[in-house]
Amino acid sequence: AQKITQTQPGMFVQEKEAVTLDCTYDTSDPSYGLFWYKQPSSGEMIFLIYQGSYDQQNATEGRYSLNFQKARKSANLVISASQLGDSAMYFCAMRGHVNTGNQFYFGTGTSLTVIP
């Protein structure tokens, strides 16, 4: 069974500080993809970053980086130099390959609040 777990319902971070949002996953697929999305209070889903299971290096996109630890089955999102506009819900997601085709599985999300 495919499963994504986000254990932090809510997080607070001081503006300009870095923050790590946790995500662990479980899959039987030998090949898979890991994603992070941002959902502001306005409701839209915004793609942030992608990591393939065979990628040797951790993915980075601007202030976002994905700390991928395959043996531990974790894919934590690191946001550096937090900004007030980073306050939002953040969802971790996984896409399988062989066993689950092209289906995506989402975690329950972490609410991030950036404090001025």
Partner 1 sequence: NAGVTQTPKFRILKIGQSMTLQCTQDMNHNYMYWYRQDPGMGLKLIYYSVGAGITDKGEVPNGYNVSRSTTEDFPLRLELAAPSQTSVYFCASRRTSVPTDTQYFGPGTRLTVL
What lies within 8 Å, CB to CB, of 72 at 6+ separation is 24
CA 104, 84, 111, 6 torsion-angle sign: positive
**Euclidean distance between CA atoms 86 and 110, whole angstroms:** 12
- Shortest Å distance, C-beta 104 to partner 1: 6
Among 31, 104, 113, 115, contact with partner 1 (rule: CB under 8 A): 104
The verdict on 36 binding partner 1 (CB under 8 A) reads no
Nearer to partner 1, 9 or 18 (CB): 9
The verdict on 64 binding partner 1 (CB under 8 A) reads no
Taking phi over 0 as left and psi of -120 to 50 as alpha, with beta for the rest, 98 belongs to alpha
Nearer to partner 1, 59 or 79 (CB): 59
The verdict on 29 binding partner 1 (CB under 8 A) reads no
The verdict on 91 binding partner 1 (CB under 8 A) reads yes
The verdict on 33 binding partner 1 (CB under 8 A) reads yes
- Other beta carbons within 10 Å of 78: 16
The verdict on 109 binding partner 1 (CB under 8 A) reads yes
Which residue, among 85, 68, 100, has the nearest Cα to 13 in the 3D structure? Answer: 85
Of 11-19, 22-30, 44-52, 72-80, which segment contacts partner 1 by CB under 8 A? 44-52
